Structure 1
Amino acid sequence: MSTQAKRIPVYKKILMDNVKKWMIKEFLEYRLAKQGYVDCDILRTPLGTRIIIYTERPSRIIGRKGVIVKELANTIATKLGVENPTIDVTPIQSPEYYAKLIANRIAWAMTKGVKFRRAALIT
């Protein structure tokens, strides 16, 4: 047997990276649904993985003294196998351009008993 490690083909490596990015996005969408999560960008850097989270309310995701962000980074590192995740939280400039955010606002208003047309006008 040779002592050389098997090489992974390039296309498989690209597919594995894309699956990992998809899993991170799904995890963040599930975990941060109530905190105004809109979207995220995932960038591979030489030092690790940088995750930029776009949100309506950054303070809810960061938490006091960054506790929630640190827990999120630890969870992503352990459960999803991401090396050295760095999480940046960025507020969105104009929330009216994000359909997911508007739909969540309308759904929240409808659960409170507001009619859907009024909820659409309010948001």
Structure 2
Amino acid sequence: MIERKFVAEKKKEFQVHEYIGEFLDNVGYSKTKLVKTPLGEKVVIFASRPGLIVGRKGANIKQLTKSVKGRFNLDNPEIEIAEVPNPSLDADIIAEKIASYLERFGTQKFKAIGHKIMTEVMGAGALGIEIKISGKVPSSRAKTWRFYQGYLKKSGDVSVSGVRRSHKQAQLKTGIVGIQVRIMPPDTKLPDDISVLSAEQEAAQKPAEESRAAEAEAAAKDAEEKKQDEKKPKRKRSPSKKAAKPAKAKEPGQEAQPDTEGGQQKEQPKEEVKTHENEGTEGNEQ
């Protein structure tokens, strides 16, 4: 079935995404996309720092291409790197940044890290952000610290399709610390977002609404007329006799064409020519 084919392709793409995320560390990695081309398969890597992925003289790219080809049996893979337009609104990049900060500075400054990241994300135009750091932070007992700011949907379809999520782990001396990030980007359309029109905007929209109403009424009238025409009984037409075509007038100098009937020519009776002898000639013979 074709559904299984689509599921297998998405599963393969997710596995490649997970593997590349483990291979690339602290490069601002966001996501991976597989694209089929006539020459093979293209692997598009989205990251905030493409230079670190390429490496010196393309060494990292060559190694990554070789490992991906051998692990996932890709047909002539080609790796392409694309830069993320706004890294501050990408949940994967933000979670990776928090993990790198915790590994570098430890758990003593986790509050400063959380507030700094929140300020950066909200300054980029996000509607809301939530950060959860769980683990032995900062004491020996495991706790969950929550940082939030702005407006964030927690239920409904918008919370699934309009909120970007990411989970990362930071390996510290005290143990593993889990990081969860949720960001609502500014282009999210909320169902309860209502805008009130001003008097000028309302006056400008009235002619358009009236024209639409007039068009709708005209279309409804046309539909009713068509229905009435269909309901009327159709009259049977009597077969009309074909009118005989008038004969064309003969032009001077033209010979009369014989009339045809049924594709055959009519034979005209030949006139007998009687020869009358003159009385004068009869007398001479006698």
Asked if these proteins are the same fold (TM beyond 0.5), I'd say yes
TM-score between both structures, scaled by the size of structure 2: 0.38
| Greater RCO (CA < 8 Å, at least 6 residues apart) | 1
Question: 1:45 & 1:20 partners in 2: Cα distance?
Answer: 16
**1:1-123 equivalent positions in 2, closer than 5 A:** 9-111=1-103, 112-113=105-106, 115-123=109-117
Q: Quote how far apart the aligned CAs of 1:57 are.
A: 1.2
SS at match of 1:35: coil
What runs of 5+ residues in structure 1 fail to find an aligned partner?
1-8
Aligned pair count reads 115
Task: Report which stretch shifted further, 87-96 or 109-118.
Answer: 109-118
- Which is helix-richer, 1 or 2? 1
Q: Quote how far apart the aligned CAs of 1:96 are.
A: 0.6
Deviations 1:22-66 (A, max 9, x none): 211111111113322111221112211111111121111101111
What runs of 5+ residues in structure 2 fail to find an aligned partner?
118-286
Q: Quote how far apart the aligned CAs of 1:69 are.
A: 0.7
Do the aligned partners of 2:29 and 2:92 also contact (CA within 8 Å) in 1? no
SS at match of 2:74: coil
* Rg (Cα) greater in structure: 2
- The percent identity for this pair of structures is 28
Do the aligned partners of 2:46 and 2:83 also contact (CA within 8 Å) in 1? yes
Question: 1:122 & 1:104 partners in 2: Cα distance?
Answer: 14
TM-score between both structures, scaled by the size of structure 1: 0.81
Deviations 1:78-122 (A, max 9, x none): 111111111111222221101121122122222313522311343
